[in-house]
Chain A
Amino acid sequence: MIDFTLDEEQLMLTNAIQRYAEERVRKVYRDAEEEGAIPDEVIQAGWEIGLLPSAVPEAFGGFGDHSAVTGVVATEAFAWGDLAVTMSLLAPGAVAIPVLKAGTDAQKEAYLPLFCDEKMPKIAAAFTEPDILFDPRQMKCTAVREGDQIKLNGSKSVVPMADSAETFLVYANFEGSSQCFFVPAQSEGLAVGSREKLMGLNALPAFRLTLTDVLIPAANQLGGEAGIPFDLILNCSRLTMAAAAVGMCRGAFEYARDYAKERVQFGEPIAHRQSIAFMLAEMAIDVDAARTMVWEAAWLMDQGKGITQEATVMKHFVDEMAVRVTDKALQVLGGYGYIREYPVELWLRNARGFASLDGLAIA
């Protein structure tokens, strides 16, 4: 029966994440953005909530099964705290969930236990490319079979924590479709480039990556010879990114709402004016509408349905919603919205990234 409420397990999980977001993340996220680094202990505390192990079956060291719905619910709660922290915490999922969904048994046994450790594994997905016409289904990075090896060439961008990664899951065009490959960081021809300077998300250490005739064993292809159903992975990432947008925008809405009730001009709170109050009402509706779309797409995925159409439509909506809502939040704050002492300008900068960043994180 149709229902829009969390189950008990999801409630416990989101309560734990909400506490973490309030008590740890919201204390540091502004400085983290300015300094370009998130304190290790904050990341560690977030990792210890154990979202990823809860999606990995016991046989591989975890204690549960993956649910896209639980993933988006948790992601929203994390992103309410901060987007860069959320992306840092969910970046390993961009390797683990594809392995879980499409890996061979041997790959599951080799990799999944790494994600159930007390420490975050040093492994990163390399998805996006530094290309105006980037098309995830037609990547410019290439993978070519050479005997029982694969040769990789191309460049990737916004690869999270690439400076400390020991292994990369690199996406490339292989025989006409987007496939991905495990590439050891010390491979010859692989170079971690400069740190990305992005419009937002500056607390997330993300890097360029170039691959020049990098040779890996053919067995390093995720899913073995069968490869991966790329749309499934892409849609997983879209769900996570969209849920993150919803969480961040909920935070922006709440902040603007509270500000509007406290800010007094002409002798009364500005929220007494319809011009302000209506913006807030529209923001609340926008965030709620976006959330229901994310939930429905996630639920369909959990039912085993292909959701490319739904995910495309949903992501189109959410990407624009994020900019609409954070822009209105900034507008409610007026001049203060433009000042970096306040968080709202960061949310607007972060919001614009959703249309461009796929494959960064999966929950």
Chain B
Amino acid sequence: MISFDIPDSIKNQLQMVEMVAGQMMRPQARYFDEHEHEIPHDFINMMWPVIKDQNKRMLDKLEAGDPSPTASGTKKANTSILRLIMLIEMLSWGDPGQYLCVPGGGLGGAAVESVGTTEQKLRLMRRFAEGDKPSWGSMAITEPDAGSDNSAIRATARLDEAANEWVLNGEKIFITAGALSLVESDGFCVVWATVDASAGRRGVKSFVVEANTAGVTVSHGMDKLGIRASDTVVISFNDARIPYDNILGSPEVQSGKGTKGFQGAMRTFDASRPAVAASAMGIARGALEYTKEKLAEVGVTVDYSKPRHLQSAYERDLIDMEAKYKSAWLLTLKAVAAIVHGRGNRLEASMCKAYAGSAVTEITQKSVELLGPLGYSRELLAEKFMRDAKINDIYEGTRQINLLIVARSILGYSRHELK
């Protein structure tokens, strides 16, 4: 039944997160923007107990034999993904750079959650549920010559049957929280590598590489346009050995057209794309509210009842920004609601990601314009919103890649028909 109702328990939790976002993240957002590669420890330490407890509850349930929330299907509404999405939106509203430093499994954890066995989940995820020190998970897909085309991945995983270990070699770039997961904590990084380079995407598997693995080198953080509080690193693997059981999904290279293993890895995106869209929408809401607030201080407000000929250009622009924000946020919620009710959301995930990325880009660019010379000044946050926003149009699949996925889906085409 059509409804836009968000459960009270989530709303209540959001109120608390809003306090952290407004009173801690926002005030120090500019500092971490201007001190790239510094780690927001106080924010991380505040979040850790909360994240830890939540993860512990889920893991304990799994251990007790309850089906994991992602596997519960249509039986019962799965609210945890909705909670997560709302949380991401609110934290990104606070500061998207710091949000990306939230401890826990992150994308790497999500990969284990969605394709790992129960044994793997219990063994690997426990670190995100206990301990005094926070830990992180990360995901390494991109390579210098494999961006959107991740079937071009050249990092290799060779099975050493005698030692029952995988041996990883290659270079991965653009790894969010890579240093947090492998240098600053005892976390792990999920690495995509091929077990058979001649098999194209069929040979690509994902592997869990834990911190302190010999042969793993984490480089210095990359310098970025925005989300500067978030570390983005290059990781090299030189005969890095990991246990056989750290492969996610089947090690078999399917023959013929079968791409099941690869699709399993791709399934992570069904949740991570709405998550990126939600982060984009947090920034968009932040920028929109900020712009309205700053304009109100100088006497410019929106009257929603005015006819067009009495509307100022400001009013028209603000209504336009609000429309883009609202439509993109609702599309994001639609992609999430599909998961909540146990339905597939591949198409919706790409739709909301493509659209939210472009919406937040346009909204934040307009915000800088509307605030005049001060919009361009680093004294205000508008220009930071604009720089932070742009990443959402790129990572977890660029807008164009997601449009391609949408197009193939609505046309019923494979990648051979629509390149």
Which of A157-165, A191-199, A291-299 forms part of the interface with chain B?
A: A291-299
Among residues of B, the one whose C-beta sits closest to the C-beta of A283 is B410
Any chain A CB within 8 A of the CB of B362? no
Complex CA–CA separation, A299 to B4 (angstroms): 7
- Across-interface contacts of B338 in A (CB, < 8 A): 4
Q: Are A69 and B354 in contact, with the CB atoms below 8 A?
A: no
Q: Are B77 and A1 in contact, with the CB atoms below 8 A?
A: yes
- Across-interface contacts of B162 in A (CB, < 8 A): none
Q: Are A280 and B322 in contact, with the CB atoms below 8 A?
A: no
- Across-interface contacts of A265 in B (CB, < 8 A): none
Which residues 291-323 of A sit at the B interface, judged by CB distance below 8 A? Answer: 292-293, 295-296, 299-300, 308-310, 312-314, 316-317
Using an 8 Å CB-CB cutoff, how does the interface string of B397-419 with A read, 1 for contact, 0 for none?
00010011011101101000111
Among residues of B, the one whose C-beta sits closest to the C-beta of A70 is B2
Q: Are B406 and A5 in contact, with the CB atoms below 8 A?
A: no
Q: Are A1 and B5 in contact, with the CB atoms below 8 A?
A: yes
From B77, B331, B400, name the one whose CB has the most chain A CB atoms within 10 angstroms: B331
Any chain B CB within 8 A of the CB of A272? yes
- Across-interface contacts of B417 in A (CB, < 8 A): 272
Complex CA–CA separation, A284 to B2 (angstroms): 20
Among residues of B, the one whose C-beta sits closest to the C-beta of A311 is B304
Any chain A CB within 8 A of the CB of B305? yes
Complex CA–CA separation, A137 to B305 (angstroms): 8
Which residues 264-298 of A sit at the B interface, judged by CB distance below 8 A? Answer: 271-272, 274, 277-278, 280-282, 284-285, 288-290, 292-293, 295-296
- Across-interface contacts of B247 in A (CB, < 8 A): none
- Across-interface contacts of A59 in B (CB, < 8 A): none
Interface residues in chain B, defined as those with a beta carbon under 8 Å from any beta carbon in chain A: 1-7, 77, 79, 82, 304-305, 307, 309-310, 319-320, 322-324, 326-328, 330-331, 333-334, 336-338, 340-341, 351, 354-355, 400, 403-404, 406-408, 410-411, 413, 417-419
Q: Are B334 and A288 in contact, with the CB atoms below 8 A?
A: yes
Instruction: Output the least CB separation between A301 and chain B (Å).
Output: 12
Any chain B CB within 8 A of the CB of A106? no
- Across-interface contacts of A310 in B (CB, < 8 A): 326
Return 7 A-B CB contacts under 8 Å, by A number: A1-B77, A261-B411, A274-B404, A274-B418, A277-B413, A290-B327, A292-B331
Complex CA–CA separation, A269 to B193 (angstroms): 36
Q: Are B406 and A281 in contact, with the CB atoms below 8 A?
A: yes
What would 18 more interface pairs be, CB under 8 Å, given A288-B331, A289-B327, A299-B2? A2-B4, A2-B340, A3-B341, A5-B2, A5-B341, A69-B2, A135-B307, A135-B309, A136-B307, A138-B307, A281-B354, A285-B406, A288-B351, A293-B323, A293-B327, A312-B305, A314-B323, A317-B324
Q: Are B331 and A289 in contact, with the CB atoms below 8 A?
A: yes
Taking A274-B418, A284-B351 as contacts, is the C-beta distance between A5 and B333 under 8 angstroms?
A: no
Any chain B CB within 8 A of the CB of A6? yes
Instruction: Output the least CB separation between B109 and chain A (Å).
Output: 24
Which of the residues B310, B326, B404 comes within 8 Å of A293, measured between beta carbons? B326
Which of the residues A231, A271, A296, A309 comes within 8 Å of B411, measured between beta carbons? A271
- Across-interface contacts of B5 in A (CB, < 8 A): 1-2
Q: Are B403 and A316 in contact, with the CB atoms below 8 A?
A: no
Complex CA–CA separation, A205 to B3 (angstroms): 37
Using an 8 Å CB-CB cutoff, how does the interface string of A149-162 with B read, 1 for contact, 0 for none?
00000000000000
Complex CA–CA separation, A280 to B77 (angstroms): 32
Taking A4-B337, A133-B309, A313-B322 as contacts, is the C-beta distance between A292 and B330 under 8 angstroms?
A: yes
Instruction: Output the least CB separation between B195 and chain A (Å).
Output: 32
Among residues of A, the one whose C-beta sits closest to the C-beta of B321 is A313
Majority secondary structure, B binding face:
helix
- Across-interface contacts of B323 in A (CB, < 8 A): 293, 313-314, 316-317
Any chain B CB within 8 A of the CB of A148? no
Q: Are A281 and B305 in contact, with the CB atoms below 8 A?
A: no
- Across-interface contacts of B331 in A (CB, < 8 A): 285, 288-289, 292
Complex CA–CA separation, A130 to B340 (angstroms): 49
Complex CA–CA separation, A73 to B2 (angstroms): 10
Majority secondary structure, A binding face:
helix
Instruction: Output the least CB separation between B235 and chain A (Å).
Output: 33
Q: Are A282 and B337 in contact, with the CB atoms below 8 A?
A: no
Complex CA–CA separation, A136 to B310 (angstroms): 13
Complex CA–CA separation, A261 to B412 (angstroms): 10
Among residues of B, the one whose C-beta sits closest to the C-beta of A69 is B2
- Across-interface contacts of A136 in B (CB, < 8 A): 307
Q: Are B403 and A281 in contact, with the CB atoms below 8 A?
A: yes
Which of the residues A3, A257, A274, A290 comes within 8 Å of B2, measured between beta carbons? A3
Any chain B CB within 8 A of the CB of A134? yes
Instruction: Output the least CB separation between A1 and chain B (Å).
Output: 5
Taking A285-B354, A289-B328 as contacts, is the C-beta distance between A280 and B2 under 8 angstroms?
A: no
Which of the residues B4, B304, B341 comes within 8 Å of A300, measured between beta carbons? B4
Q: Are B305 and A3 in contact, with the CB atoms below 8 A?
A: no
Q: Are B2 and A295 in contact, with the CB atoms below 8 A?
A: yes
Which of the residues A2, A6, A137, A272 comes within 8 Å of B333, measured between beta carbons? A2
From B327, B341, B419, name the one whose CB has the most chain A CB atoms within 10 angstroms: B327
Complex CA–CA separation, A289 to B338 (angstroms): 15
Which residues 1-31 of A sit at the B interface, judged by CB distance below 8 A? Answer: 1-7, 10
Complex CA–CA separation, A271 to B408 (angstroms): 10
Q: Are B326 and A277 in contact, with the CB atoms below 8 A?
A: no
Q: Are B307 and A3 in contact, with the CB atoms below 8 A?
A: no
Complex CA–CA separation, A284 to B400 (angstroms): 15
Complex CA–CA separation, A174 to B5 (angstroms): 38
Instruction: Output the least CB separation between A274 and chain B (Å).
Output: 7
Among residues of A, the one whose C-beta sits closest to the C-beta of B316 is A316
- Across-interface contacts of A272 in B (CB, < 8 A): 413, 417-419
Q: Are A296 and B4 in contact, with the CB atoms below 8 A?
A: yes
Q: Are A3 and B337 in contact, with the CB atoms below 8 A?
A: yes
Q: Are A2 and B3 in contact, with the CB atoms below 8 A?
A: yes
